[in-house]
Structure 1
């Protein structure tokens, strides 16, 4: 029995195949704590999203706003047939139903100045803004003929003007719409439509007013976060946006005109011009407004560096880092004939896993580059000193230190890239494979 144990122990120590199997098994075992680290990163990212959402909710969420829309009710006669129980006969009845017609501006010009800054809570931060929005344009002469509505059925005395927005909470000034010289105070209205509604009171002499073209203007100051977007409801919609934020992300159904879009260190300016032919809806609707959010456009105000996303991308290379490092130790063991115990492989692997916990914890209190450098330096120092005790000298530990430093540097470059990450990563892995093949060419693999 004792002889069998000695034979198995000698086989583990002397057989290349056995040592490769042990290292491969330990690599798989080390994936367990690596997955725990990845889950920790995801949990911290979710926590960040919750805190940011709470900050934004109190300040004001994303802002989506339309220009002024004319809303005019009209009567529709509805004929029904009812059954009389007494004489057992059917008789027709006519009832009157109120519906609404909506008319969009011919021209809509929007100027917005956005003052953006960050709000912090503990270690988390969110981008919030205060936008000063000025709208002006012209309403067309109202024509119901295209909607097949008879003039006698129009309820002119109950005509109103409304504006759609996603963020009532963030409004910081009492809004009013001026049509020619008439000022209309706006109040919130209950709505089941696609956005919240602020609406004027009934407009006096609406028939006389809206049977001609009219100029309008509207000013609003509003707090928001995440994004500021507009609906292109004018036949011609011109939007300009200026902000002190230097990391905008233009999104939505339309992008700014390249000739007018500039992003500088002190902020950005952007301009859009959208014509009716560019979007797929009419200038007037009957019965109800459709959901037009899909045609919105504007700007997202984003934090330029998401450290949790970078940490997660870094952790995805954890398998490669651990695998290559253990492979380097295995090759050194085969070349130098120094026995490395499986426990020592586990300690080295756990030190490599600790890099990711150090990275995420330090990055929450510092910038990502500094966190990466500190975490990498700590792990390099630990593994170098530990391998000095294992390998009885400085030659191989310094080789390991240089290899691991190069690997960490290579990964940092990859995670900074976006469009060329796959290309650079593929070339880098090809070079690493070539180096390993070259280094292992003189190893006697016959001692299996």
Structure 2
């Protein structure tokens, strides 16, 4: 029987000389290196989550998303319910009339909105959010006030209880006194307790409205409001026209309706856009009774989009970590096979850990600098470290130069991919195909029979 020492010697020789053994070892080490790579991905997710929390805190203090609806004319009226009730005293049926209060909500015929949105960054520590202050000018006209479709008589309308209401999702962001001019009256606006998503602001009661009920009533008001993320309007006018101008360079036109053709202009200095929405474009009427419906689903406007931030780019880069580590170890394996130079598994682990360190360097540096600068510094540091280490392992300059060229090409290729949006998949697929072709071509003369 062979001694234990002979068996160990044969196994060690097999590990050193067998191509299959080397491939198995490198494959196993690649799987092991996925563990620290997953920790890096978790770190990126954690930092990204923290960024989102800080931005949310900043936005809540400054003012969140703004959705504006109004003005709406609130017109109370009475209806009557008549029924016969048996009187126990007189032993007869008596007719009793019950007065039931109701409310009609009348939307304007014309609604014109002009908004000037001035954005600026707000910083807390290393995090940044984009907020804005918007000057909004609203004008238009209400139709003749008649509720004939419900057979409501003019004498049943409580003209002295009529009011104007405006709804917004961000009442605390208002930075000016809100006053609505209706006809020849100026109406002061005050908040009204409301548990719905859109907070209600109601005017004082309108004086002399009955005298103007037979004609259209003009209105206008100006509003200055702080917000973040997006600015949207609900098209309650029979004809709603909105214009928006801003100094923000990266808008995303969002909501139910897009700007009209030819009105969008986006430059590095800002954007401008216009919308036109007509009653036939929506699925609701101009008058509602008793309760206002939820109409936020019809809102439209603009999101102030922050271009892909450092954490998103780092996350996308880390997704290619398996490919970078795998291809780099594969290059070392092919050099080992061709040159007959023995590379210890520990040395493979050191090389793999150096490649993983690229991602921690990338995310930590990008928090304090631009992504490009962070990418160049991290890639340069890891490239230099791996090249010098491979020089000590492989001797000479030919193979370390090959490794440096291969790794630099990989980092350059990945950077190009993450900068692309529409063509990322196409460029990535072509690049991977070329890498596979190069590997197949380079390995065609290797004698794979040495097992």
Q: Same fold (TM over 0.5)?
A: yes
Structure 1 stretch 374-383 or stretch 95-104: which is displaced more? 95-104
2: CA distance between counterparts of 1:368 and 1:117? Answer: 21
Structure 1 match to 2:435: 432
2: CA distance between counterparts of 1:353 and 1:22? Answer: 19
2: CA distance between counterparts of 1:238 and 1:178? Answer: 19
Paired residues of 1:104 and 1:284 also in contact (CA < 8 A): yes
| 5+ residue gaps, structure 1 | none
TM alignment of 1:97-136, pairs within 5 A: 97-136=100-139
2: CA distance between counterparts of 1:92 and 1:39? Answer: 75
2: CA distance between counterparts of 1:92 and 1:395? Answer: 109
2:37 is the alignment partner of 1:34: yes
Paired residues of 1:147 and 1:286 also in contact (CA < 8 A): no
2: CA distance between counterparts of 1:38 and 1:80? Answer: 72
Distance 1:80 1:383, change over 3 A: farther
Paired residues of 1:187 and 1:198 also in contact (CA < 8 A): yes
Q: 1:333-370 deviations in whole A, cap 9, x for unaligned?
A: 11101111111111111111111111100000001111
Structure 1 match to 2:227: 224
Distance 1:13 1:205, change over 3 A: same
Q: Report SS of the residue matched to 1:178.
A: strand
TM-score, normalised relative to structure 2:
0.95
Which one of the candidate residues 239, 242, 246 is aligned to 2:245?
242
Paired residues of 1:186 and 1:198 also in contact (CA < 8 A): yes
| Structure 1 segments of 4+ aligned residues over 4 angstroms from their partners | 78-94
| 5+ residue gaps, structure 2 | none
Instruction: Figure out how many residues of one structure are paired with residues of the other and give that number.
Output: 448
How far apart are residue 281 of structure 1 and its match?
1.1
Q: Report SS of the residue matched to 1:68.
A: strand
Structure 2 match to 1:444: 447
2: CA distance between counterparts of 1:7 and 1:318? Answer: 35
Structure 1 match to 2:309: 306
Which one of the candidate residues 15, 19, 25 is aligned to 1:22?
25
TM alignment of 1:35-184, pairs within 5 A: 35-78=38-81, 95-184=98-187
1: CA distance between counterparts of 2:86 and 2:129? Answer: 64
Structure 1 match to 2:394: 391
2: CA distance between counterparts of 1:90 and 1:17? Answer: 104
Distance 1:387 1:213, change over 3 A: same
TM-score, normalised relative to structure 1:
0.96
RMSD: 2.1
Paired residues of 2:130 and 2:229 also in contact (CA < 8 A): yes
Which one of the candidate residues 170, 186, 189 is aligned to 2:192?
189
Structure 1 stretch 413-422 or stretch 153-162: which is displaced more? 153-162
2:244 is the alignment partner of 1:271: no
How far apart are residue 305 of structure 1 and its match?
3.6
